[in-house]
Amino acid sequence: MFRSTSTSLILLGVLAIITGVIALAWPGVTILALVILFAVYAFIGAGLQAMRAFSSATAGPVFGHLLLGLVDLAAGVIALVWPVPTALVLVLIVAIWTFAGGLAEVSAAFLSGETAGTRALFIIGGLVSIAFGIVLFARPGVGAVTLALLFGFFSLIYGFSQITMGVQMRQTRRSLHSVVKDKDAA
């Protein structure tokens, strides 16, 4: 069990590092990949809505699911036909999300009965999220490249952590194996 898990962690780490290097070397390709991934997601959503529409017993849900399916289909086509505006809209969504999340964190700092240190961490984290959201909203073009680069750095760090865990797991397996072998010999 340890060997297959450790090998999986190491392979996952290597894949994450390769992805991180690609994201850092070609942030434009990374942005385009995210737009294409969004389009694929929208097309899958359209297909699922169509399936739900035709599996409904009454007319009301059929119309609603078909309408949602058409919206999903249109979103996928728009993403593929106009990838740059789609990337900018996705950046704006992330900007709104980080800004709202930051506000929630700052609010949580004052609403919870946390210690001063934990409250300070909530406030700092919230303010960083708010600032990041404002920067993304103010400069979405630069924000798209920034998100691609952040994704690249995250992938590198994640990859190295997975490789480290996989190597540590192999060392633990070897240690356990030698302890069991010594116990059996005694």
Nearest C-alpha neighbor of 68 from the set 85, 47, 87: 47
What does the pLDDT read at residue 60? 66
Three-state DSSP string of the chain: CHHHHHHHHHHHHHHHHHHHHHHHHCHHHHHHHHHHHHHHHHHHHHHHHHHHHHCCCCHHHHHHHHHHHHHHHHHHHHHHHCHHHHHHHHHHHHHHHHHHHHHHHHHHHHHCCCCHHHHHHHHHHHHHHHHHHHHHHHCHHHHHHHHHHHHHHHHHHHHHHHHHHHHHHHHHHHHHHHHHHHHHHC
> For the chain, which ranges sit under pLDDT 50?
none
What does the pLDDT read at residue 3? 59
Q: How far apart are CA 21 and CA 156, in angstroms?
A: 7
Q: How far apart are CA 82 and CA 104, in angstroms?
A: 33
Helices 140-185 and 116-138 cross at an angle (nearest 10°) of 140
Please name the residues in contact with 122: beta carbons below 8 A apart, sequence gap of 6 or more.
105, 106, 108, 109, 112, 114
| Whether this model's pTM surpasses 0.75 | no
Q: How far apart are CA 9 and CA 4, in angstroms?
A: 9
What does the pLDDT read at residue 113? 73
